[in-house]
Amino acid sequence: MTEPPRPPGSGDPGDYPPSAPYGSSADEPPTAPLSGAPGVGGYPPPGGYPPPGGYPPPGDYPPPTGDQPPPGGYPPPGSQPPPGGFSPGGYPPGGAYPPGGGYPTGGAYPGPTGGYPTNDDKTWALIAHFGGPLGVVVGGSLLGWVAPLIALMAKGPQSPTVRAHAVAALNFQLTWVAALLVSFVLAVVTCGVLFFIPMLVALVPIIFGIIGGIKANEGTLYRYPMTYNFVK
């Protein structure tokens, strides 16, 4: 004998899940989920998703404190070196490099002609210095002053550089000519006991004259030692 059909909502054990939500009748429409409750499928409602751009939301960033890098990266505009520092290309400003291609001023380094205005000036300066020892060896011990005097008279009036070199060499040679004459007198007075004194005195203008010529070739005015200034 068959069981008569049950009326709707009578709690048929095999009717799971019920066709209508719990607590509502079949004729009532399904109620919408409350705010904050999971939506369809258990996902959060549209308002619960993170805002575009990720975390934190735009309003939650800490306010600027002054230690963040400014726009454009480091260094900030106010931290560049002052006008006296390095230029934008990384090179020192115009006045930081030594003038004249890196050589110091004041004639410390020889110029294109070895520290002389012209090559002619250099030639006459070398004649003044090397001519003294040459005159002592070739022309006699008393003729070392001839070459510096010739350089002084020939080129000295036109070139202050040659005049300075010629005057220095001439004063030195004249000083040691006088010393050589004194040594001859001592050798004669002592009846030849001090015969070696004139030979030693004659070597001094030769040695220092060569040194003066080497310095002049390098562009340096050599200051002779043990010299009396006969010529100003």
- pLDDT one-digit tens code per residue, 88-145: 554 445 444 444 433 334 333 344 455 788 999 999 999 999 999 998 888 777 889 9
Least confident stretch, 18-27, 199-208, 213-222: 18-27
* pLDDT, position 68: 61
- Residue 197 Ramachandran class (φ > 0 left, ψ -120 to 50 alpha, else beta): alpha
Rounded to 5°, the CA angle 148-153-158 comes to 115
Handedness of CA 106, 107, 112, 116 (dihedral sign): positive
pLDDT tens for each residue of 171-198: 999 999 999 999 999 999 998 888 899 9
Rounded to 5°, the CA angle 182-186-188 comes to 115
pLDDT band at residue 35 using 50, 70 and 90 as cut-offs: very low
DSSP 19: S
Q: Taking the mean position of all CA atoms in its chain, how far away is CA 73?
A: 27
Burial 137-169, CB ≥16 within 10 A → b, else e:
eeeebbbbbbbbbbbbeebbeebebbbebbbbb
Query: Averaged over 213-218, what is the pLDDT?
Result: 95
Using CA atoms, how far apart are residues 175 and 226, in angstroms rounded to an integer? 8
- Determine the length of the chain: 232
* pLDDT, position 69: 58
| Mean pLDDT of the residues in the chain | 72
Using CA atoms, how far apart are residues 181 and 136, in angstroms rounded to an integer? 14
Residues 6 or more apart in contact with residue 123 via CB below 8 angstroms: none
Rounded to 5°, the CA angle 89-94-95 comes to 135
Residues 6 or more apart in contact with residue 128 via CB below 8 angstroms: 147, 148, 151, 152, 162, 165, 166, 169, 170, 216
What pTM was computed for the model?
A: 0.51
Using CA atoms, how far apart are residues 185 and 14, in angstroms rounded to an integer? 156
